[in-house]
Amino acid sequence: MKIAVIGAGQMGNGIAHVFAQSGHQVTLIDVNQASLDKALVTIGKNMDRQVAKGGLTEDQKKEALARIAITTELASGVREAGLVVEAATENVDLKLRIFRDMDAHAPAHCILATNTSSISITRIAAATKRPGQVIGMHFMNPVPVMKLVEVIRGYDTTDEVTRTVVELSTAIGKVPVTVNDYAGFVANRILMPMINEAIETLFQGVGGVAEIDTIMKLGMAHPMGPLQLADFIGLDTCLAILRVLHEGLGNPKYAPCPLLVQMVTAGKLGMKSGEGFYAYTAGSKDLVVAPAFRKNAPHLETAR
Ligand code: CAA
């Protein structure tokens, strides 16, 4: 089946990578040519890691890369697709516009999937004339490594479409888990309150950044502490998801911690901006607590 992926960012390039590696022809679509060029470089580098670890041969890498075409034209990019996976920025208006465009240009049988982390599938589906063929395919970051695909059925998603997406996810080496369409689905409904609570715990001065993360890493066997994971996901994304949970479920327990709001306002977005709870230096794997959270940090409640 021919696959189109919309959005060449972190998630989009990972999704293109795994489909191409599994033998599918992939068209990666983005409005920005530079993002497309960068995505191909990133996919090549990530495949190099797999080659170095023996998970992929150099020839398989070349073949997989050759299966990926890039374009800035959505209409021609989706024209022959059997499945389109949208992985654009988490912005409702943008996604609705993309889905209207996809609906207009993709073949009638094509399944329209979204990698949204929290926006309602039912709402997105309602922007199209084929709501039964709209579904959530929520991949986890880093896509080539993480096994899960959270498959989200919208109000109208058909059994046949769900079955096809589950089979396809399994065929590309993922483990699909099907859930229903309520705010945050399952993954983020559980993950984001934990991250928010870690930030609240820091905000109240109960523990420092390194202490909180070490407790969760060593005490609960999490590969990353919740504050490092928040930086990895992006603090703006975490905030956006918490707002969807807060608004969608109407429970004050999902209200984002003021410290998270403040950091996003200040442009401290985590890894992608170079600073969040940790400070990041290109090329270094060292985990260094950001200056704002070192001893006597003014952002913590106890310091006031
Ligand atoms: N592409 C290909 N391979 C990659 C990769 C990538 N982008 N990133 C890492 N790898 C590989 C490495 O080569 C390495 O391979 P081997 O096991 O064969 O040696 C393996 O993954 C581990 O990587 P590293 O040794 O570099 O580093 P690590 O052991 O610290 O693991 C990690 C890195 C996999 C990211 C790990 O820290 C982890 O699992 N973190 C948690 C990730 C997580 O929770 N993701 C979900 C976020 S939530 C989300 O995505 C959804 C949402 O809606 C917010």
Ligand 1 centroid, distance to 104 Cα (angstroms): 36
Q: What is the pTM of this model?
A: 0.94
pLDDT recorded at residue 303: 40
* CATH value of 189-303 in 1.10.3720.10, 1.10.1040.10, 3.30.70.100, 1.20.1600.10: 1.10.1040.10
Q: Is residue 54 in contact with ligand 1, taking CB distance under 6 Å?
A: no
Task: Domain ranges for the chain, please list them.
Answer: 3-180, 189-303
**pLDDT value at position 300?**
60
For the question of residue 188 being annotated catalytic, the response is: yes
Domains 3-180 and 189-303 are alike in CATH topology: no
- Residue 71 to residue 69: CA distance in whole angstroms: 7
Select which of 17, 46, 86, 150 is catalytic.
150
* Per-residue model confidence as pLDDT tens for the chain (304 residues): 999 999 999 999 999 999 999 999 999 999 999 999 999 999 999 999 999 999 999 999 999 999 999 999 999 999 999 999 999 988 899 999 999 999 999 999 999 999 999 899 999 999 999 999 999 999 999 999 999 999 999 999 999 999 999 999 999 999 999 999 999 999 999 999 999 999 999 999 999 999 999 999 999 999 999 999 999 999 999 999 999 999 999 999 999 999 999 999 999 999 999 999 999 998 888 999 999 999 766 566 544 3
Superfamily of domain 3-180: NAD(P)-binding Rossmann-like Domain (3.40.50.720)
Provide the terminal-to-terminal Cα distance of the chain, rounded to the nearest Å. Answer: 59
pLDDT at 301: 55
The verdict on the CB of residue 295 being under 6 Å from ligand 1 is no
Asked if 212 and 185 touch (Cβ cutoff 8 Å), the reply is: no
What one-character DSSP code corresponds to residue 255? P
CA distance 168 to 174: 9
Decide: 210 in ligand 1 pocket, CB within 6 A.
no
190 lines ligand 1 (CB under 6 A): no
Q: Where are the beta strands (DSSP E) in the chain?
A: 3-6, 26-29, 68-71, 83-86, 111-114, 134-139, 148-153, 175-180, 278-279, 288-289
Q: How far is Cα 279 from Cα 274, in angstroms, rounded to an integer? A: 6
pLDDT for 285 equals 87
Q: Of the residues 13, 115, 120, 188, which is catalytic? A: 188
The span from the CA of 224 to the CA of 294, in Å, is 19
Q: Which of 105, 138, 169, 246 is catalytic?
A: 138
> Can 160 be counted among the known catalytic residues?
no
The answer to whether the CB of 84 is under 6 A from ligand 1 is no
Q: If you measure from the C-alpha of residue 303 to the centroid of ligand 1, how many angstroms do you get, rounded to a whole number?
A: 35
